[in-house]
Every structure is written in structure tokens, then in C-alpha cells.
Structure 1
Amino acid sequence: MPAARFMRQTATFLLCSSLCTLATMSAVQAAPSALAVKAALLFKLPRFVYLPYLEDNAPLTLCILDSNPFGQALQTLAQTPVDGRTVQLHMPHSTSDAQACNLAFLPDSANARNALPTRLQALAAYPMLTVSDIPGFAQAGGMVELADHPDDQGKVQIVINQSAAASQGIRFNAQLLRLATLLP
């Protein structure tokens, strides 16, 4: 099995490299919007996360709570399997409806910012990866924050709260950890 492990590590490295390239495209090129970068990162993120509760070959359930800021982009991306898993995209109406999600994305809005502590507490009852673009999400107890880069529009910083993830048994791939800003 060493050859299979090498191939998986090589594929992981190539995917990390493409994530890094996508997140740091120069302004000279036709750079995608920050929202497009976030959609791509959100979709690729499960490839770099170890979700202990996700059974082999089980579909990956990706949920967007509240309104979908990505439009059709996620529906298009969801047609491509992630590590051989089909992707099911759901838009639950409430936090309690999100219990079947493997990954829950909370989009930024004034209402979401105000309700963030309550929602994070409610989501902590379910085994899932929490992701958001709400400023300070990871600091507030969320697992992965897709933060707008302060110096450059279109670039996105990944902020990871390993403590919050560890409470659910979630671990991150080493290549992703090297690209991310880590909270203590």
C-alpha cells in the first residue's frame, strides 16, 4: 500500500497547491471575486479535513444556513464528487434542521453576526465542520473562517480554530494548516 499512500499524498499536495494558487491570484490576471474564491475554497475544504463521523463512501452533505451568497456556483461545483463522494447541497431553514450536515456554512450578514454565539452553541451539539465568512468567526468558536484579506480584494485568508474542531474530533491536513492562520 505504500504506492497508494504516495499517490494520495501527491494528490493532496497538488490540491493544496491549487488552493494556494486560487487564494493568491495576482491582480494583474483576471482575478475572481472574493465570493468566487470562497465558494471554491468551501467546496475543496473537505478534501483537507478529517471528519471522523463520515463513513467511507458516504455522501458529503454541505449545508448553507440562511441565504446562499454563492448563487449557482455551489450547485455547479456540487456536481463534481469530492474524494469519490457525491456532494449533497442543502439549505436548511434553521440550525436544528442542520443536524444532518457534515459541513455547515454560515454566510455573513448583520443578523448572522448578532446571532453568532447562539448559533455556534446550537451547532456544537451536532458532529459537523462549521465554516463562515463572518469576521471573527473562528475567534468566536467557529472552526474555519474564510476571511477577506485586509490588503487585497479577491484574496481570502483561511483562519482555523483547532480547539473548536478538536472538540468534534475534527483534524486538518498538514498542508492546509501551513496555508492557514491558526488560532491558539
Structure 2
Amino acid sequence: MHFAHISNVCQFQDELDQNIRLPVKPLRKPRIMRCRAICFTILALPFSLASVPAENMPSDRLGEYDVKAAFIYNFARFIEWTPWHKNGENPFFSIGVLGEEPFGNALDDTFTDKTIAGSHVRIMRAGNLQALMDCQILFISQSEQSRVDKILNALNDRQILTIADFPGFAEAGGIIELRVEENRVRFLINQKTAVDAGLKISSKLLNLAQKVITR
């Protein structure tokens, strides 16, 4: 699926009820600047995407995973992270992608020069879960859907925000499930799993979820 622009991108304040759209014309800015623009847009307004047929969309338009990378950035900002480093160290805030890589450079571009909980961000990719067990955020790719139960069981005692974009993820015990419905990005939150993992999600983010699972 390809996406032409974003509208209604994240309403964290009731008074911000106007829509913001990115330009409909092809964006000519460098990719990293486009990813930053998405992040800043998503900070304030309700989530939405609009799509056009692939054959009509120039190659430099925003893609689905550019937008999902920006969502991940904003999810991270609205979670209270307890310290994961030891002995006064301040290591990287690590975001892992498990399985086939759908983002291209979108995550790297989105998190360039960003900090989460006071730490610089590094992006890690692996097909082996063991290599990503120390991440703070783990995106589980669609290629891993058939073994998601095993993956989530292995993460059971870890303070890791799990995110995926395949159906049934939140019901299976994942924390955030991204969906695209009627060209709008929506998400489900499994609050029970988040609490069990020691993650405190902002009420602002919970209020934006399409569904919050509490048991």
C-alpha cells in the first residue's frame, strides 16, 4: 500500500481540531527532512492517512512505513520509561526490528538526532530474537506472525514495548497493534500487557487508541 499524504494526524489537545495535510504535490526535500516533517505533524493532531493508486504516485512521495516510523517515535514519547542502564551509564535507547525489514531507511531517518528518555537512539535489525532482547522497543515484522506466541512468551519478563502491524497482535499479547482501515492509521493497545511489562502509557495515547485491552 502506498500513501500520498497525511491528514488529521494526532489530537493530543481538544482545542486542536483542525486538520493538517502535507502537500499533495511531490515532496522534493531530502528524505530525512521529510521524515522529520512527519514527526512534527504527528505531534499535535489526530491520526490519518490518505492513499492513491501506486501507478499515480511519484516515487518520492511519503510511504506507509515512513508514517509508521513517525508513529513509533510518538509512541515512545508518550511512555514513561524506567531506567534500563546501570552504574550511571546512559547507553542508547534501542529500537529493534525482528524479521524482514519493511522500513528501509525510514526508522533511521526518523530517529536521527532524536533522544528518548535522555538517550540517543540506535536502530537494530535481526532475524534472531536473542540479538534484540535488550531493546526498549521491538517491532515484530509480518514475516514473524506465525511464531508470534513464542516471541511474546520469550519477552514475558522484559520491559519492552512490542509493536506489530498484523491482525491479532494485540489480542495475542502484543502491546501496540498498528492498523490501516479506510486509509486511516489506527492502533490498538493491550494495556494489561504494558502494565505487566512495567510500562506506563500516557492517558493521552490511551485515549487515541481504537481499542484498549485491559484483561
TM-score range, shorter chain: 0.7 to 0.9
1:68 corresponding residue in structure 2:
101
The equivalent of 2:170 in structure 1 is: 138
Aligned partner (choices 101, 116, 119) of residue 151 of structure 2: 119
CA 1:17–1:72 in structure 2 vs 1: closer, same or farther (change >3 Å)?
closer
Distance 1:21 1:36, change over 3 A: farther
- CA shift, 1:44, in A, is 2.3
Shift of 1:58: 4.4
CA distance in 2 between partners of 1:115 and 1:19 (Å):
33
Q: Give 3-state SS (helix, strand or coil) of 1:142's partner.
A: coil
What is residue 131 of structure 2 aligned with on the other side?
A: 97
Q: Partner of 1:178 in structure 2? A: 207
Match of 1:160 in 2: 189
Q: TM-score, normalised by structure 2?
A: 0.68
Q: Which has the larger radius of gyration?
A: 2
Is contact 1:16-1:176 (8 Å) kept? no
Count matched residues.
167
More strand by share: 2
- Percentage of pairs with the same residue: 28
Q: Which amino acid aligns with 1:121?
A: N
Q: Is the 8 A contact 2:65 2:106 kept in 1?
A: no
- What are the ranges of 5 or more consecutive residues in structure 2 without an aligned counterpart? 1-11, 17-38
Question: How many angstroms does 1:168 deviate by?
Answer: 1.2
Which one-letter code corresponds to 1:134 in the other structure? F
Report the CA distance shift for 1:18/1:165 in structure 2 as closer, same or farther (over 3 A): same
Q: Which has the higher contact order (CA 8 A, sep 6+)?
A: 1
C-alpha separation in 1, matches of 2:40 and 2:106 = 20
TM-score with structure 1 length normalisation? 0.78
RMSD, matched Cα? 2.8
Q: Could you list the runs of 5+ residues in structure 1 that have no partner in the other structure?
A: 1-11
Moved over 6 A (4+): 14-17
**Amino acid aligned to 1:24:** S
| Counterpart code for 1:59 | F
**Structure holding more helix per residue:** 1
